[in-house]
Amino acid sequence: MADRLPHLLRADARDNRDRVLEAARTLFAERGLDVPIREIARRARVGPATLYRRFPTRQALVDEAFREEVGACAAIVREGCADPDAWRGLSSVIRGLTELNARNQGFVDAFLSTQPGGAGFAEHRAGMMRLLAGLCRRAKEPGTLRADFVLDDLILVLLAGRALAATPPGVRRPAARRFAVLTLDALRARPARD
């Protein structure tokens, strides 16, 4: 029995950690990053001390809760940037990020945050923005992306798309797709009129 006790405690601790992460992911996705830690602990059915034992800071919890989204975001951007047709690549990035944004309000909050302690997200954001800057330059060269586009316009798109996470789940994905279509239409260069 004594030989099994440490193993049982480790499994119990792992279960607590998993429940904390699941609660954090759900609450952050639904309501953003302002969810109180005590509410996350309550949803996970653990005490705040247990939560802090596993995640000593809010930022540690945020980083772990959004590990999958960071990977998904990076894949969307890298895949779009790899497309030889820059407009098609930018279009796929905007569609992909809009759908990711619609699924998870908290991830966009974390991605755009300038809070100290969010170094992992700051590095991720800087890397993604560098890639996107190159993609946007390529899309401007043949005149498919509006000439007055600046990279901050993409941040505006992400900020505007945050509201998609508040729509009912049944309409969220179609709304995200429509938002992406409207965004791309607004970003496409138009021939000069006389």
Class at the top of the CATH hierarchy for domain 67-187: mainly alpha
Which band of pLDDT confidence, cut at 50, 70 and 90, is reported for residue 5?
very low
Global pTM reads 0.80
Cα–Cα distance, 143 to 56 (Å, whole number): 50
Which band of pLDDT confidence, cut at 50, 70 and 90, is reported for residue 124?
confident
Which of 164, 101, 154 lies closest to 129 in space, CA to CA? 154
Inter-residue contact 164 to 101 (CB < 8 Å): yes
* Domain locations along the chain: 5-65, 67-187
Q: What 3-state DSSP class applies to 188? A: strand
Q: Please indicate whether the domains covering 5-65 and 67-187 agree at the CATH topology level.
A: no
Higher-pLDDT residue of 31 and 48 is 48
Inter-residue contact 87 to 46 (CB < 8 Å): no
Over range 93-113, report the average pLDDT: 83
Structure confidence by residue, pLDDT tens digits, 137-178:
999 999 999 999 999 998 899 888 888 877 888 898 999 999
Inter-residue contact 53 to 37 (CB < 8 Å): no
pLDDT score at 20: 94
Higher-pLDDT residue of 30 and 36 is 36
Burial bucket for residue 103 (CB in 10 Å: 0-12, 13-18, 19+):
middle
- How high does pLDDT run on average in the chain? 86
- Write out the DSSP string of 8-48: HHHHHHHHHHHHHHHHHHHHHHHH-TT--HHHHHHHHTS-H
Q: Which of 18-32, 82-96, 114-128, 148-162 has the lowest mean pLDDT?
A: 114-128
Question: What type of residue sits at position 188?
Answer: R
The residues that bridge with 188 in the sheet, in sequence order, are 145
Over range 103-107, report the average pLDDT: 79
pLDDT score at 1: 47
Residue 122, C-beta contacts closer than 8 angstroms, at least 6 positions apart = 114
Higher-pLDDT residue of 4 and 155 is 155
Inter-residue contact 147 to 140 (CB < 8 Å): yes
Q: What 3-state DSSP class applies to 145? A: strand
Considering the chain, what percentage of its residues have pLDDT values greater than 70? Answer: 89
Assess whether pLDDT exceeds 90 at residue 109.
no
pLDDT score at 192: 58
Cα dist from 89 to 84, 128, 130, 183, whole Å? 8, 14, 15, 14
pLDDT score at 63: 86
The architecture (CATH level 2) of 5-65 comes to Orthogonal Bundle (1.10)
Residue 77, C-beta contacts closer than 8 angstroms, at least 6 positions apart = 93, 97, 128, 131, 132
Burial bucket for residue 146 (CB in 10 Å: 0-12, 13-18, 19+):
middle
Structure confidence by residue, pLDDT tens digits, 41-89:
999 999 999 999 889 988 889 888 888 888 898 999 999 999 999 999 9
How distant is the alpha carbon of residue 192 from its chain centre? 36
Rounded to the nearest 10 degrees, the angle between the axes of helix 119-140 and helix 67-82 is: 20
pLDDT score at 59: 84
